[in-house]
Structure 1
Amino acid sequence: MSYHKRRRDVLKGIGVAGAVSVAGCSGGGGGGGGGSGPDLLTVIGYPESGIQLFRDYYSASDGAEDILIPDGLQDPALPGQVGNDMNNVTGTAPAAGGPNQAAFESLYQDTYDETPGVFTSQSYDSAAALILANVAAGENDGTAIRDQLRRIANPGGTEYGPDGFLDAVEAAANGEDINYQGASSAVNFDGNGDPASAAYSIWEFAGQDADSVDVAETQNFEGENPDGAGPSADSSPGGFGREVSVGILLPETGDLASTGQPMIRAAELPAQQVNESDLDLTVNAQFEDTNTSPDQGVSGAESLVSAGVPAVCGTASSGVNVPVCQETFIPNEVVGCSPSSTALSVTNLDDDDYIFRTAPSDQLQGRVMAQVASERLEAETAATLYVNNDYGQQLSERFSNVFEDTFDGEVYDQISFNIGESSYSNVIEQALSSGN
């Protein structure tokens, strides 16, 4: 039985802690089994560039190294586009681990006749929370919505989920205390506007013809600031007979198109639920495409602000989200709630509490990845390849620091690459030969 086939079969049943050693059965890492390179490659990027990067990797290596990737590369179509089953790849990703995960999955499946993908639950929760906060505020005003977000999401009121979303909207309009319990998490915002807790899945690609990935395990983790509740309004004016405005600023095209399109559909669901109901409220959900580009993201955000949108579900990538927040949302007092921007720089924004997210910070994912690398894959040495933006650099640094300081590993090199290159052979060769 081949190493990779046995590895896939064994890993499905192993937890993060107490993993059985399967790494190194074919002679260790080093670009073809030479044993002199790193045990593990950590690759941080997006699917469009990942196609060429992994084609170049499998041309240079027999796949003896374990590869660890985060959510940015969780695209079931990637093996088919690369032309390899990618059996040596393990992934981590924020998961749909909320108390109402099943209700959301059923709603999405019934509406679109497809299985929800990565970050779709976070997208639904972001749009749902913004709509509820707007209804509770009783006006299309960014500051009023900001002050209501923790009031409708954090503990203290009657609990509602996606299957009771319309009841939650009605209760918010009546000025009642509500506690939205989401699909991705409990949607409790900490003092930074980040989730107070999050679930992560550990997954593998299912092959070249698959339309989903194989999730081996899902675990819940506490965020960095679970007890920091942050500011919140004391009461909710509510009210009926009005139009609620919300923006959706996500990538329909560009490097994250394959991930972004299902996220857009998920973000549109709460507005559809309200508009198809008999409540005396309507939701005007306005969409702009970021093209996974900072410039187009800022342009789209400016269009939404010009249209009077007070709160936006978006953006997706941190390389887009940070400039959008700094240049558009914060100066115009517009609430931004990203469903998938995970870079540490988002937490550190001087945002006057206008910036939230339903996706957890990479402060947490970096630790999860380091733990998987050490305890599940039993790697002692690693090299990272990361996309050259805030998301890639900060997650690479966080993974490397935790892998070395907490799990006594060694990171030989951290190597950046740019989106859209025609070849990644040079950076792959550098990573495979690091440590020599």
Structure 2
Amino acid sequence: MPQRSPLDLPEGDPFGPHNLPYGVFTTPHAPHLRRIGVRYGSHVLDAGAAAAATASPHAELLGAATLNPLMAAGRPVWQAVRAEVLDWLTNPAHRPTIEPLMHPLTTLALHLPIEVADYVDFYASEHHAANVGRMFRPDGDALTPNWKHLPIGYHGRAGTVLVSGTPIVRPQGQYLPPAPAVSSSSPTPSAPSAPSTPSAPHTSSPTPVFGPSLRLDFEAEVAFVVGAPSPLNTPVPLSGFHDHVFGLCLLNDWSARDIQSWEYRPLGPFLGKSFATSLAAWITPLDALAPARTAPPARDLPLLPYLDDSTAEPFGFDLRIEVAVNGHTVSRPPFSAMYWTAAQQLAHMTVNGASLRTGDVFASGTVSGPRPAERGCLLELTWGGRDPVHLPDGSRTFLEDGDEVTLTAWAPGAHGARIGLGEVTGHVVPATP
């Protein structure tokens, strides 16, 4: 039986011609030569080689070692290149040229597809923010007074944004020691004896200790990648979202909850977040996700004009995320439930005159839905460590050494198709001695 061509995909493949995400790869024969690739089914097209072979006017952009030159070229070029790639992969006339340039995905090493400029993390899920508020402020309002007036965010650390698959070393830092367990057994890094929260940690001492984090957590998020830059002192309105954002991908913003709880007041996240942020190896262009656009939840309060999207096109995305720990699904957060959209986040982060740079990444914050099975981090799933999550290999309150967290997602496409997003995986390894 003749072998199926990599250009002949099975019906319903989530990485078919309706998707075409971009990444960067190397082959075993040339491990130092990074190339731009386009995922197509279980194969990857060497986009630079295809551009050279077809005398494409975009050969220089596609021959780069990162996506940054292509992203900086702007939306008209993004659309032209996408149309060109689609033609290469689906036009029978190109088959003799393109087929030899397809590489099996399993044979390739995948790399961070962009040079990250700045990294911003938001707090855009009402369900996540309300759950955290109920844990930390049980006698007060779940949401802070500003939460429904602006998308809250903070600047993260771009230098530790890592490609999916990079091992995650358990971070060390200062934290307050947990209270002694009621039983005679000692607390372990994977199962602290009592829950602790940033506002009211349950500890046995007001004096911090130094050591590996005992409360390592994941956060299921969606990242948006800036392509075209913007000048200083030139805010980007809601309508400018598609001109500046190249695409989106999954992101895991790893969090050390005990380090975070000790350090975060009054300036917010620092060492508890900056040690590692995992980014998918594949960036899906916004144009591929046009069928997945959806309206955000109804607004409870009127918004200031620069954030008011009541008459704007729908800027939400219907992304169905799944979180697995050691292969066992623990959560299915719906991105369509996010209160603040990426367009509002972009407008807010530039309204003060801040400029955009090619390679800027801004993330949604933890994605959580209204149901317990839709919570996007262990802090919520275990309610601060009170209610362990049960896995086939034992219970968890927070992550143990050896645990592997995998985020996957898909979005509805045209005519019942599914649009696959590249996964994000991270394997927890012990703290460095």
TM class by shorter chain equals under 0.3
With structure 1 as the length reference, what TM-score do the two structures score?
Answer: 0.27
Higher percent of residues as helix? 1
Please report the TM-score for the alignment, with normalisation by the length of structure 2.
Answer: 0.27
